[in-house]
Structure 1
Amino acid sequence: MQQRIHQIELFMKHPHEVQHDIFQRLIEMGAEAEFGRKYHFKDLTTQKAFRERVPIARYEDLYPYIQRMMKGEQGVLWPTEIKWFSKSSGTTNARSKFIPVSKEAVDDCHMKGGKDLYSFYTNNYPDTKIFSGKGLGIGGSLQVNEFDINENSHYGDVSAVIMANLPFYAQMYRTPSLDIALMDEWEAKIEQMAQTTIHENVTHFLGVPTWTLVLLQRILEITGKSHIKEVWPNLEAFVHGAVAFEPYQSSFDALIPRENMRYMETYNASEGFFGIQDQKDSKDMLLMLDYGVFYEFIPMDEWDKEHPTTLGLEEVEIGKNYAIVITTNAGLWRYLIGDTVRFTSLIPYRIRISGRTKHFINAFGEEVIVENADQAMTEACQATGAIMSNYTAAPRFLEVGVKGGHEWIVEFDKAPADHAKFVETLDASLRKINSDYDAKRYKDIALEMPKVHFAPKHTFYEWMRQRGKLGGQHKVPRLSNDRSYIEGILPLL
């Protein structure tokens, strides 16, 4: 692990050279696949030529290739055999997405990221006892790929794909057993996980905050303990990702005493492993540059363009929001994954996830992104002693004689002491954070005070259950520029 830290320090010092080498290797390998032959990769010598020749791809653009790969055809997007597909929840698209996962992506990206998070952790906390027990992982489920006539491939949540490919020594340090971890019936899985892991020496757990909370609450119900460290006295860390953690911090504090408990963020998606929190005193994530992923970035004012301009790593600026475009060692060529990031440092390159290209509210020119909403939600909860469980928001559009605004649905583990103060703080925080929102709210010119519904417990759980989106990587969409999500939830209130 110490040796790996030295390798990481090397790409921190020479980021552009490392990314150039990654680019060259991807092009050389990609030239042997059908996609590379179509775009004459063998003639490509520069990143500039690559951008000019190969269009930015959304899932719909690559779907015809992926569909053929799902049926067992090889050498389409990537020259080596593809036997695994990561099934994305499709929160930005009603259809499930199947992302190809090559052996190179498993070994040099996902597995490497898993090893590196432990490298950073042990480097930051050399007195750790994390390996004296087991890591608890909440995975998704795996299925035989029914589209492949040879039944030679599988698909599932990225967490399930990784678990199924873990080496034997890693399996020894994790819980629960794979037959439970990969169950596809979510409610039965949570029960089985709770019943079996309470007898283990769990020193850390990994997962999405929302679903991890469901498991921890069930464990306390079964054991009758007052907090989780009474169940797992050696617990010391939670490695989390997928959604912003700040709004959930108070929920975890209510279940786990803060003393000697550490939290670590990662950026691990279906498409690859991109970032890891590498410092004890900062929640920024180091952009991992040697995982077989080549990065480009689209500035915010280009997001809606059919042919947006992309920037190289050397061109980004601190504090600006960018959509990420990736080229990977699984055959995703100039793929727009839908996430947006903000750079907090350029020496080395560190980021924070700021939202999704399709998860924002801009019905009135207010340009509210998920990062704004998460921060405002955190401040409103702190001001009123509330503990938020889940939320979503959408615009209320202008009507004759009625001004527009934002409509929120918020579910709490602990309701605010003062509902009016919660709404006022939420609004005031957004005005402080976002100048465009503030301008539209000035004297209610375009936006009225937000309308906030306080949802009964389990509202979002029931909504996700009805949509078949329980567990795994499925997340409640925070913001939407239309009312499709919120109209589906309102009848449940």
Structure 2
Amino acid sequence: MATKALFNTLVNWFIRQRIDQIEHFIKFPVETQEGLLFSQLFHAEETEYGQKYGFSTISNYQDFQRKVPVVCYEDFEPYIEKARQGQKDVIWPGQIKQFAKSSGTTNAKSKYIPITAESLEDCHYKAGKDMVSIYVNNHPQSELFQHKNLRLGGSAETYQDFNTKFGDLSAILIENLPFWVEIINTPNKKISLMSEWESKMKAIITEVRNEDVGSLTGVPSWMMVLLQRTLQETGKQNIGELWPNLEVFFHGGISFKPYKNQYKEIIGKNIRYYEIYNASEGFFGIQDQSGSDEMLLMLDYGIFYEFIPMDQYYSGSREAIPISEVELGKNYAVVISTNGGLWRYLIGDTVRFTSLHPYRIKISGRTKHYINAFGEELMIDNVETALKITCENLDVSISDYTGAPVFMTNSSKGCHEWVFEFTRQPACLNTFSDMFDRTLKTLNSDYEAKRYNDITLRKPIIHVARPNLFYEWMASRGKLGGQNKVPRLSNDRAYIEPLLKLNEL
């Protein structure tokens, strides 16, 4: 009892200290961000990138805007490759030894995001502690520290390459966690770092079914698969029966909206849901109000934020503005400069500000067409390339198409659903579907992982559209004309449902 009391006293002391720091950056957001930027510019001015763009000569934000370009991954990749091959002082002082392998871009199946000691400690781990601090501060009667946290990451295998390591971010985080964090987490590190998903899932269930779980942390789609399988293995009616002390689910990575009712049903009791906004590039936001769908933008994690209004972005502009100039209700592409060595880097997400005092955001989408209902991050570039390869191999021609997710239910897994209007149809639709699916796997590692053994995503559903279906649909929406385009991908079913209904007429 004395040990437990001491632990709670230390935790409460830390929480009070951190809440004071959060309140400080809420009160002084612009000053916090400017101080962070110039500290990092000074830190990196002797790097190759810093010397090329004159970091030492930058004395104000306008200099930074003018001298340092806004880049996407393809622009920045040559510098990342140098760092991956072990070169020192490329984008951040010293040698960067770890890289998070993330989903592919136009030119590559995967991208590699630098993870420095500073970004680990001052961003990712700090955010994990903040997530708990904010929650307990909001709910002082919480018994969170008396029970285990069930964590579920993605692929956890790391690989040695060029004397540096790369792998899933979750593997890097788990490998570097302090020992005291492992005490409150389940499954253990050995199981968490397993790479073969079927074996890993069985091992997780074997361990956690007898644990006293008080919180969940993970991506909603993956966690749903685990919870469903756990109920099957234990014979329990719902998760609340298995873990009566469960009180909160910390979730991120994809939208929670399609899963809300499913979780309410499978858990069988009222718990709290807290959203987090994290990525390989950094940890950006935490829901700071119970029951809200807004997230507090975390301004002291070693990330300097800029924003490009989406109306300008779509016209080809890369002119970014600082946080002091953003407006409520507008969609912005997010640009970051980080203690991980990324400089004015477009992460591909779009956000909308819901509050300016403090700065709170909602994730509004991606800068490109996408499907990310299950963490697969399927981009339009992946799909276009896969279709090109498939059509050429099978002598098929497509005039129009669209794709959308089919969300999980308690009795079925999710999948992607497609409507294709062919001008030259495949001899066998199943052959077309199989090749399209296989090719997508080769182009997108996250899609490949979600399709592995049908764990999260089952095979895609393909519908053949009758002739002129898309033309009639666009006409019904008043969207005929050269400037109006068929939406190729959507993260909800707003487009595909009316198309399917029209196709039945």
TM-score over 0.5 (shorter chain): yes
| Letter paired with 1:279 | Q
**Secondary structure of the corresponding residue to residue 222 of structure 2:** helix
Partner of 2:205: 194
In structure 2, C-alpha distance between the alignment counterparts of 1:290 and 1:7, rounded to whole Å: 9
How far the C-alpha of 1:244 sits from its partner, in A, is 1.0
8 A Cα contact 2:240 2:269, kept in partner: no
In structure 2, C-alpha distance between the alignment counterparts of 1:245 and 1:93, rounded to whole Å: 30
Pair 46,82 (structure 1): closer, same or farther in 2 beyond 3 Å: same
Alignment equivalent of 1:253, drawn from 257, 260, 264? 264
Partner of 2:448: 468
| Letter paired with 1:264 | Y
How far the C-alpha of 1:32 sits from its partner, in A, is 2.1
Partner of 1:331: 341
How far the C-alpha of 1:195 sits from its partner, in A, is 1.5
CA deviation map 1:363-411 (0-9, x unaligned): xxxxxxx9xxx9xxxxxxxxxxxxx99999999xxxxxxx988554524
CA deviation map 1:157-179 (0-9, x unaligned): 22221111111111111011111
Alignment equivalent of 2:409, drawn from 397, 407, 413? 413
* Correspondence list, 1:2-81, <5 A: 2-81=16-95
| Letter paired with 2:139 | Y
In structure 1, C-alpha distance between the alignment counterparts of 2:81 and 2:212, rounded to whole Å: 43
Partner of 1:262: 272
Pair 360,349 (structure 1): closer, same or farther in 2 beyond 3 Å: same
In structure 2, C-alpha distance between the alignment counterparts of 1:349 and 1:288, rounded to whole Å: 9
Partner of 1:238: 249
**Secondary structure of the corresponding residue to residue 468 of structure 1:** helix
8 A Cα contact 1:208 1:242, kept in partner: yes
**Secondary structure of the corresponding residue to residue 190 of structure 2:** helix
In structure 2, C-alpha distance between the alignment counterparts of 1:389 and 1:271, rounded to whole Å: 16
8 A Cα contact 1:133 1:173, kept in partner: yes
In structure 2, C-alpha distance between the alignment counterparts of 1:390 and 1:331, rounded to whole Å: 26
| Letter paired with 2:223 | T
Q: Is residue 2:328 matched to residue 1:318?
A: yes
Pair 4,215 (structure 1): closer, same or farther in 2 beyond 3 Å: same
Q: Is residue 2:91 matched to residue 1:84?
A: no
In structure 2, C-alpha distance between the alignment counterparts of 1:291 and 1:73, rounded to whole Å: 25
8 A Cα contact 1:91 1:475, kept in partner: no
Partner of 1:302: 312
Partner of 1:165: 176
In structure 2, C-alpha distance between the alignment counterparts of 1:255 and 1:239, rounded to whole Å: 16
**Secondary structure of the corresponding residue to residue 202 of structure 2:** helix
How far the C-alpha of 1:470 sits from its partner, in A, is 2.8
The farther-off stretch of 138-147 and 246-255 is 138-147
In structure 2, C-alpha distance between the alignment counterparts of 1:215 and 1:415, rounded to whole Å: 13
In structure 2, C-alpha distance between the alignment counterparts of 1:411 and 1:113, rounded to whole Å: 29
Partner of 1:278: 288
* Correspondence list, 1:112-123, <5 A: 112-123=126-137
Partner of 1:174: 185
Instruction: Count residues in correspondence.
Output: 409
Partner of 2:117: 103
How far the C-alpha of 1:202 sits from its partner, in A, is 1.1
Pair 320,306 (structure 1): closer, same or farther in 2 beyond 3 Å: closer
CA deviation map 1:162-205 (0-9, x unaligned): 11111111111101111111111122211211111111111111
Alignment equivalent of 1:134, drawn from 120, 123, 148? 148
Pair 237,163 (structure 1): closer, same or farther in 2 beyond 3 Å: same
In structure 1, C-alpha distance between the alignment counterparts of 2:451 and 2:170, rounded to whole Å: 11
Partner of 2:225: 214
Q: Which runs of 4+ in 1 moved over 3 A?
A: 91-94, 141-146, 304-307, 388-395, 403-409, 460-467, 474-477, 480-486
8 A Cα contact 1:391 1:411, kept in partner: no
| Letter paired with 2:28 | H
Residue segments in structure 1 that go unaligned for 5+ positions in a row: 362-369, 375-387, 396-402, 417-459, 487-493
* Correspondence list, 1:335-346, <5 A: 335-346=345-356
Alignment equivalent of 2:361, drawn from 339, 351, 359? 351
In structure 1, C-alpha distance between the alignment counterparts of 2:84 and 2:124, rounded to whole Å: 21
| Letter paired with 2:96 | I
CA deviation map 1:41-84 (0-9, x unaligned): 10011111111111111111111111121111121100033111
In structure 1, C-alpha distance between the alignment counterparts of 2:375 and 2:336, rounded to whole Å: 32
CA deviation map 1:277-305 (0-9, x unaligned): 00114221000000000000010112235
In structure 2, C-alpha distance between the alignment counterparts of 1:467 and 1:17, rounded to whole Å: 41
In structure 1, C-alpha distance between the alignment counterparts of 2:362 and 2:346, rounded to whole Å: 17
Q: Give me the CA root mean square deviation.
A: 3.6
In structure 1, C-alpha distance between the alignment counterparts of 2:440 and 2:407, rounded to whole Å: 12
CA deviation map 1:128-148 (0-9, x unaligned): 111111111112344454431
CA deviation map 1:81-112 (0-9, x unaligned): 31111111237765201100000000100011
How far the C-alpha of 1:461 sits from its partner, in A, is 13
In structure 2, C-alpha distance between the alignment counterparts of 1:392 and 1:253, rounded to whole Å: 27
8 A Cα contact 2:334 2:347, kept in partner: yes
Scaled by the length of structure 2, the TM-score of the pair is 0.74
Pair 140,182 (structure 1): closer, same or farther in 2 beyond 3 Å: farther
In structure 2, C-alpha distance between the alignment counterparts of 1:332 and 1:393, rounded to whole Å: 22
Residue segments in structure 2 that go unaligned for 5+ positions in a row: 1-14, 384-398, 413-436, 461-485, 494-505
How far the C-alpha of 1:247 sits from its partner, in A, is 1.1
